[in-house]
Amino acid sequence: MQAPLFTSFIQGKTDLESSKEAVDVINHFWVMTELAIADNEAGRDIQGVTDIEHWMHRLFQKVSGYMIQHGFGELWQESIDKQ
């Protein structure tokens, strides 16, 4: 998955400046979530991480909190409703 904005955001190097950027990050978050689910169901370890569900839950909380705090809560909720 090539997503420079998403990668930079997840690494804490970039703040989102627009709704367009927020939607991009949100969409990539859900793609990553689907990949993590597939890996977990297949029993794959990712770089030694065996409890991906725990880490995805933490990441969900961080992304959710960021979106709400920075005015993108409605976009975030819309994405959740689509899942």
DSSP states of the chain as a string? ---HHHHHHHTT-----SHHHHHHHHHHHHHHHHHHHHHHHTT--BTTB--HHHHHHHHHHHHHHHHHHTT-HHHHHHHHHH-
Between residues 10 and 51, the one the model is more confident about: 10
pLDDT computed for residue 1 by the predictor: 65
- Per-residue pLDDT tens digits for 3-24: 999 999 999 999 999 999 999 9
Name the average pLDDT for the chain.
Answer: 93
Per DSSP, what are the bridge partners of residue 46? 49
